[in-house]
Chains A and B, each alone.
Chain A
Amino acid sequence: MTDHERNQLTGFLRDKARWVRSETLKIHRIAQETRIASSLSAVEIFVALFYGNIVAHDPKNPRWEGRDRLIISKGHGSISFYPILADLGYFDKQELFRVCKEGSFLGGIPDPLIPGYESVNGSLGHGLGVSCGMAAALKRKNREETVFALIGDGELYEGSVWEAIMFGGEHRLDNLIAIIDNNGACMLDYCKNVLDLDPIDQKFSAFRWQARTVDGHDLAKLHTALLDLKNDRSGRPKVLIANTVKGKGVPALEGDPLSHIRNIPPDRIDAAIRGLK
């Protein structure tokens, strides 16, 4: 890719990220139950994966065997994935106006009824283990697809995640990429005040994973890191620690240790959208 092409792609991704934030806030206006801060920290990750052509997929055939698998273990924090799925053609965009309403398949926490979601995501600590099983199964079938698992940093408190980390390293699952949305906070506080998780990369390295850290809102760097990791099949599973800001893009949420449980009231959504950079 030339510098010019890369700049063009980054500009395109930035536009998409702004649009996704705006649409996510609109969903939050009608579905105040949604976890907005946690969904905003992951926007660039979803955008890079899907608009940056990292993930192979087919909206017309969500269970296409040749797709890359994405397990979204921090399901509550993936409302920002809804507009992307609609935009890519997984379902009608009109569905975005019915989130959490009677008869909608789009809930406050996504479930596997939604085309594009692979698993059950409501409870934390499950996704990485399921991803390990999928990655091992793909290897058994001699298939080349990649399994991506998006997990939260607070999710690392769940012991079952470490069972999976041990398994992935031992079985050299180099077709597995864990992406940590490292937004620094769980529900009641910053993680550093609860049980400090740092250094995350060294913990993974100790379990024989290849660890890389990136600014999770810098689309150029994020895209490059994801592409590099996807192409790397050197016998170790990979973790991308994406340093993010919880509530990114909305000043009222950024810097609030309780942002996880904060709502933006419906009458302030327009102002929040106008304030997006």
Chain B
Amino acid sequence: MIAEKMTMRDAFIEEVCRRMASDPALVFLSADLGSPKLDTLRSDYPDRFINVGIAEQNLVNVAAGYALEGFTVYAYAIAPFLVMRAYEQIRNNLSLLSHTHRVNVNLVGVGSGLSYDVSGPTHHGVEDISLMRLLPKMTVFSPSDWVLAERFVDYTIDVRSPKYLRFDGKPTVNLYDRNAVIDLHSGFSTLAEGSGVCIVSTGYMTHTALRAAEKISQSGIRIGVVDVFLIKPLPEQALYDVLRKYRSVITVEEAFVGKGGLDTLVANILAAGGSDIRLSRMGFGDSYVFTMGVRERLHELNGLGEKQITEEVFRMLAKG
């Protein structure tokens, strides 16, 4: 596999731009957020790109209006602003309206987790998984790399209902092979198989989880790593069938623990299966992160570092 560093947004937007050439129904709206590949898109398709200004509420409402007229709409903004400033617009004009009308709006939020590390808590996206999976008929896509992001363009065109795409703000190396067959509807991938303990992670944390698993393998122990990229709709039984082979599951996410994120999703799946699998949840406690520092350091200070994940794996293994 060729490993290359790229931002999810650039991989995604470049592919959208390619599709715009043959699909006149695609329009791209931004709340004044850019990217290098977006510069190409807006110069190639000035009549199908609109910067609505720093106005997330109107971004979503205008997107809904376009979608009601049959367009496939991309609405692009910084993740926490998009999700939380415009939450009622998303609820009423996307989620609720899609019960009676076709509303293909793809909310593209950039800055999941702590990707805007030193910008501080206003820019951290730690609530979006919980908030967006709450909404009926909303698809929630949380890729761990740019290959998944690029592939998801097909899904945005084929599945004609509202979606939230949570993209990392920083370039990341790909975990998936660009030439591989990936079924996005499957919702998750088993990136490592093992026994005893399985880490379930989403987004950026899958990179950290894989590093922890690699380190642990040096002790001759192989653990499982499952990357959940489609938070909703997630084929829950299929995930349960993978997890039931393990004694313990550890969820790892850049989100608050116990508040409806990935951990809650996995806990519900385990409970529904009636399993006695032990569950450990790793994420942020009931507090925002103010400390300055690079992302890995902030993770470490908040119990989400590679070292702490490794320790937690050994703790769970010790329980047998």
Binding site for B on A (CB under 8 A): 111-113, 118-120, 122-123, 125-126, 128-138, 140-141, 159-160, 163-164, 166-167, 171
Contact = CB atoms under 8 A, between A and B. Distances in A.
Nearest to A122: B92
A122 B89 CA distance: 12
A129 B62 contact: yes
B61 A129 contact: yes
Contacts of A123: 88, 92
Most chain B CB inside 10 Å of its own CB: which residue of A112, A119, A123: A119
Q: Give the interface SS of chain B, mostly helix, strand, loop or mixed.
A: helix
A130 B27 contact: no
A159 B67 CA distance: 23
Contacts of B97: 112, 119-120
Contact of A119 (B27, B60, B69, B93): B93
Given A112-B97, A120-B92, A137-B69, A129 B58 contact: yes
Contacts of B47: 140
Most chain A CB inside 10 Å of its own CB: which residue of B62, B64, B88, B101: B62
B11 interface: no
Given A126-B61, A129-B61, A140-B66, 15 more contacts: A111-B100, A118-B68, A119-B64, A120-B97, A123-B88, A125-B57, A128-B61, A131-B65, A133-B64, A136-B62, A159-B57, A163-B55, A166-B55, A167-B52, A171-B50
B65 A136 contact: yes
B65 A133 contact: yes
B309 interface: no
Nearest to B101: A112
Interface in B35-79: 47-48, 50, 52-53, 55, 57-58, 60-71
A160 B71 contact: no
B65 A160 contact: no
Most chain B CB inside 10 Å of its own CB: which residue of A120, A123, A131: A120
Given A112-B100, A112-B101, A140-B48, A129 B92 contact: no
B84 interface: no
Given A112-B101, A119-B68, A123-B88, A130 B53 contact: no
23 contacts: A111-B100, A112-B99, A112-B101, A118-B68, A119-B64, A120-B92, A123-B88, A126-B92, A126-B93, A129-B58, A129-B89, A133-B64, A133-B68, A135-B65, A136-B50, A137-B65, A137-B70, A159-B57, A160-B57, A160-B58, A160-B61, A164-B62, A166-B58
